[in-house]
Structure 1
Amino acid sequence: MIEISTSPTSTTLVITGDLDLAERDQFPEVAARVVGLRRQLVVIDMCRVTFMDSTGAAFLIALADSARKRGGAAALRGADPRDLFVLEVCGALEMFRLDPDHRCEDARPASDFSAPATT
């Protein structure tokens, strides 16, 4: 499930559950809605994401690319090291601002996966 909220300067997506091939049917509608809101910053809250595959990564990459084309940015908060690794393997991690200070309220159990090095 993807919930969208807005402020005067940002759009926030709160993603719950899997972000994968099985959920891809909702991605075009969500992306169109986010683009239509025309906010400079797209914040993607991944605190409740349980799994992400390359299809989910492609969706996030499309959101970041769209924000960049409008002169804005995309920020990830609460992303698990596994999710960051998927974006890194896709060569897209640098497209996102990472929020290292964010602490998820209902944090999922930490994985044993090591976080990728970021520059």
Structure 2
Amino acid sequence: MIEIATSPATTTLVITGDLDLAERDQFPEIAARVVGLRRQLLVIDMCAVTFMDSTGAAFLISLADSGRKRGGATVLRGTSDRDLFVLEVCGALDLFRIDRAHRCTDEFPLQGSTS
């Protein structure tokens, strides 16, 4: 599940569960909504992501690339080491700012992280 919240300058996506091939049908609609909001900062909260494959990574990469083309930035928070590795293997980690100060709540413990 992906929820979208906005403020005057920021769009926040809160992702819960798997971000993978099985969820891809919702990606185009969500991407269109995020791009249509035209906020300079996109924050992607991944505290509750249980699994991400290359399809999920491609979705995040497309969001970050769209924002960058408009002069915006994309921040990942609550991202597990495993998910950062997937983005690194895709050669896309430099598209994102990583919020290393964020601490997930007990309700959504950071999955697979060693830091």
Deviations 1:36-73 (A, max 9, x none): 00000000000000000000000000000000011001
Q: For structure 1, list consecutive stretches of 5 or more residues without a partner in the other structure.
A: none
Q: TM-score, normalised by structure 2?
A: 0.94
Taking only aligned residues, the RMSD between alpha carbons, in angstroms, comes to: 1.4
Question: Do the aligned residues in 1 keep the contact of 2:19 with 2:49 (CA within 8 Å)?
Answer: yes
Give the CA deviation at 1:114: 6.2
Taking a change above 3 Å as real, the CA distance of residues 88 and 114 of structure 1, as seen in their structure-2 partners, is farther
Give the CA deviation at 1:108: 2.7
Q: Percent identity?
A: 75
Q: Which residue of 2 aligns with 1:51?
A: 51
Q: Provide the rounded CA distance (Å) in 2 between the counterparts of 1:36 and 1:80.
A: 28
Give the CA deviation at 1:103: 0.4
Q: For structure 2, list consecutive stretches of 5 or more residues without a partner in the other structure.
A: none
Secondary structure of 2:22's counterpart equals helix
| Pairing 1:88–2:91 present | no
